[in-house]
């Protein structure tokens, strides 16, 4: 916990009932608003693998194209993967990649007009896109690492907008 968070009062856990059992939060009383969230994941590999990735020389083919589609599909399936997430009418998913010397930064942005936010959809999209990229390069780098999975920004809803 960071020093800033240590001074904040912990919010009530809305996914728990009074008896401590899990529940899906009732969002039926919330207004429908436009919502957006952006999340990231980082795949760290070697410079040699990055060369194969950018030149199309990977044994499994175009890793970024496959990863982009996997991330989009994952965002749409979040509520089937994360038990207490609400199914949402996803209106847009964007998966972007920033290629470094030995890493791929995956950034996923998800939009909806709904009753609850899309942070989990953005996190799922970024994570699955990075996992797919790992799957595509593992034949040439079994030691690649996934890290830095986090929400970068969100907008819409009662709690307002924020960004890192």
135 is catalytic: yes
Tell me the backbone φ, ψ of residue 156, rounded to 5 degrees: 90, 160
Distance in angstroms (rounded) separating the CA atoms of residues 116 and 157: 7
Distance CA 41, CA 92 (A): 19
3, 96, 135, 141: the catalytic one is: 135
Catalytic residues: 135
């Amino acid at each position: 916990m960071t020093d800033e968070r240590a001074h904040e009062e912990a919010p009530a856990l809305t996914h728990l009932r009074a008896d401590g059992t899990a529940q899906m939060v009732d969002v039926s009383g919330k207004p429908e608003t436009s919502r957006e969230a952006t999340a990231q994941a980082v795949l760290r590999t070697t410079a040699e693998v990055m060369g194969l990735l950018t030149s199309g020389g990977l044994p499994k083919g175009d890793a970024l194209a496959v990863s982009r589609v996997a991330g989009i599909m994952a965002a749409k399936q979040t509520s089937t993967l994360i038990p207490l997430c609400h199914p949402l009418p996803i209106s847009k998913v964007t998966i972007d990649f920033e290629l470094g010397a030995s890493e791929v930064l995956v950034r996923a942005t998800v939009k909806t007009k709904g009753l609850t936010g899309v942070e989990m959809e953005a996190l799922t999209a970024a994570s699955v896109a990075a996992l797919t990229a790992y799957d595509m390069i593992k034949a040439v780098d079994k030691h690649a690492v996934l890290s830095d999975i986090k929400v970068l920004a969100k907008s819409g809803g009662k709690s307002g907008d924020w960004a890192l």
